[in-house]
């Protein structure tokens, strides 16, 4: 198999894992890496290299960080690299048609869903939030649309009931690397087969925003539990309790709780019914949610039993969380 001259474009840890897999495989020549510009991070607000850039630097691969690929100078720079193919993984920057046309075999993208379901920025989180039973990896030939290109390879992955956004992302990473290497082999052997997406089946995975991480206790316990799992740890859910913003890292529906507790008057959603070593039981629009891991401002995330050792008075029955729907 003749090696391909590759450009790799990506930014976060998920993309860095794919770049490392390509390097470890050693079958192809990575002529350059593209990543988003460094951003300030941490208390000192110092510029920090992206995970993809760091992998490239550690392996003596040239790194380019243009602010845009619409610029003619940036496009000429990319053209001069004479790449056969550009591999794009969570790059976070628009590739205009002029760039898509530069490599001999165009640009391929690793997308973290089973397209056409969950096109867009946050497919992993949206799949869990929606209660999907499975997801996967799609490698597609990029076109000018948003995740609309022809599909080259799909790998299915079960969504476990225990999966969080982070755990699912980690499991996806390993199957993505294997899928990418398989597609590169098929391209070299001219045996790749493209499948057109059915646009009628498309759904859109909106980018996560901080506002939606605030829990709306009018929603069902099931919906809230899914959201908490999905947003862990990229956009951790939270709720206000007596002026304190409490992050909620893990929760589960506990619909049987209401029947076990004598409620003498109508209980507003967001009200704590009980708090013990199993968790903090909170009423919802439908059902009861058991909070199992929480984090108070300035502290670490802790189990419910550890939280109750110091916050029992705040979390006693009758206290009420204030959420976006309260």
Neighbours of 251 (CB within 10 A): 26
Q: Give the pLDDT band of residue 281 (cuts 50, 70, 90).
A: very high
Mapped onto helix, strand or coil, the DSSP state of residue 288 is strand
Please state, in angstroms and rounded to a whole number, the distance separating the CA atoms of residues 111 and 92.
Answer: 12
Distances (CA, A) of 145 to 69, 94, 201, 206, 321: 16, 10, 15, 15, 42
Q: Look at residues 152, 170, 205 and tell me which one is the last residue of a structural domain.
A: 205
List, for residues 285-323, the tens digit of each pLDDT value.
999 999 999 999 999 999 999 999 989 999 999 999 997
User: Are residues 287 and 150 both part of a single domain?
Assistant: no
pTM for this predicted structure? 0.93
Q: How confident is the model at residue 262 (pLDDT cuts 50, 70, 90)?
A: very low
**Interval 62-77 mean pLDDT:** 96
Same domain, 68 and 123: yes
- Number of structural domains the chain divides into: 2
pLDDT value at residue 183: 97
**For the residues 81-87, what does the mean pLDDT come to?**
98
pLDDT of residue 324: 65
> In this structure, what CATH number is given to the domain that contains residue 118?
3.40.50.170
Q: Are residues 176 and 244 in the same domain?
A: no
Per-residue pLDDT, averaged over 250-272, amounts to 71
Distance CA 102, CA 83 (A): 8
Residue 318 and residue 209 in contact, taking contact as beta carbons nearer than 8 Å: no
Are 125 and 245 in a shared domain? no
Task: Indicate if 232 and 133 belong to the same structural domain.
Answer: no
- Per the CB < 8 A criterion, the answer to whether 211 and 277 are in contact is no
The whole-angstrom separation of Cα 93 and Cα 113 is 19
57 & 159 share domain: yes
Asked if residue 62 and residue 47 are part of one domain, the reply reads yes
Query: Using one digit for the tens of pLDDT, what is the confidence trace for 97-112?
Result: 999 999 999 999 999 9
Residue 124's CB is within 10 A of a number of other CB atoms, namely 25
Clarify whether residues 49 and 179 are in a common domain: yes
Q: Where are the beta strands (DSSP E) in the chain?
A: 5-10, 29-34, 39-41, 46-48, 63-64, 85-89, 107-111, 119-120, 134-141, 151-158, 204-205, 237-241, 244-253, 272-276, 279-283, 288-295, 302-303, 321-322
Are 197 and 75 in the same domain?
A: yes
Instruction: Say if CB 121 and CB 207 are below 8 A apart.
Output: yes
Q: Which of 205, 239, 268 is the last residue of a domain?
A: 205
CATH of the domain at 312: 3.10.25.10
Residues 153 and 55 in one domain: yes
Domain identity same for 167 and 216 = no
Task: Measure Cα distances from 248 to 5, 52, 131, 295 in Å.
Answer: 46, 30, 19, 7
Of 171, 187, 205, which marks where a domain is finished? 205
Same domain, 145 and 25: yes
Q: Among 48-62, 211-225, 250-264, which stretch is predicted with the lowest mean pLDDT?
A: 250-264
Question: What is the pLDDT, as a whole number, of residue 326?
Answer: 52
- Per the structure, the complete domain to which residue 295 belongs is given by 210-322
- Of 1, 237, 202, 7, whose CA–CA distance to 102 is shortest? 7
According to DSSP H, which parts of the chain are helical?
A: 13-25, 51-58, 72-79, 97-100, 123-129, 165-188, 221-231, 257-260, 304-311
CB atoms within 10 A of CB 310: 11
**Which residue(s) pair with 239 in the sheet?**
246
Name the CA radius of gyration of the chain, rounded: 23
Q: What is d(CA 142, CA 152) in angstroms, rounded to the nearest whole number? A: 10
């Amino acid at each position: 198999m003749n090696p391909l001259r590759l450009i790799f474009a990506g930014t976060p840890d998920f993309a860095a894992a794919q770049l490392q897999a390509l390097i470890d495989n050693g079958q192809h020549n990575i002529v350059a890496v593209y990543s988003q510009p460094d951003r300030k991070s941490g208390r000192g607000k110092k510029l920090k290299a992206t995970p993809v850039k760091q992998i490239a630097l550690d392996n003596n691969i040239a790194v380019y960080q243009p602010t845009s690929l619409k610029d003619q100078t940036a496009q000429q720079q990319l053209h001069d690299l004479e790449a056969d193919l550009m591999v794009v993984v969570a790059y976070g920057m628009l590739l205009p048609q002029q760039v898509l046309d530069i490599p001999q075999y165009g640009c391929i993208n690793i997308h973290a869903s089973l397209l056409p379901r969950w096109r867009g920025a946050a497919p992993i989180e949206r799949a869990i939030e929606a209660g999907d039973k499975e997801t996967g990896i799609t490698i597609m030939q990029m076109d000018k649309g948003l995740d609309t290109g022809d599909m080259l390879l799909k790998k299915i992955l079960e969504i476990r009931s225990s999966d969080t956004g982070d755990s699912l992302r980690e499991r996806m990473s390993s199957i993505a690397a294997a899928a990418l290497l398989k597609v590169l082999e098929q391209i070299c052997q001219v045996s790749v087969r493209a499948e057109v997406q059915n646009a009628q089946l498309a759904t859109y995975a909106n980018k996560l925003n901080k506002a939606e991480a605030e829990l709306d206790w009018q929603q069902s316990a099931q919906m809230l539990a899914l959201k908490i799992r999905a947003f862990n740890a990229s956009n951790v859910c939270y709720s206000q309790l007596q002026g304190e913003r409490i992050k909620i890292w893990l929760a589960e529906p506990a619909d049987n709780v209401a029947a076990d507790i004598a409620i003498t008057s109508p209980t507003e959603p967001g009200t704590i019914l009980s708090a013990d070593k199993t968790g903090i039981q909170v009423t919802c629009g439908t059902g009861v949610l058991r909070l199992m891991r929480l984090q108070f401002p300035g502290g670490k995330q802790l189990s419910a039993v550890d939280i109750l050792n110091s916050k029992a008075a705040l979390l006693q029955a009758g206290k009420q969380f204030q959420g976006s729907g309260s």
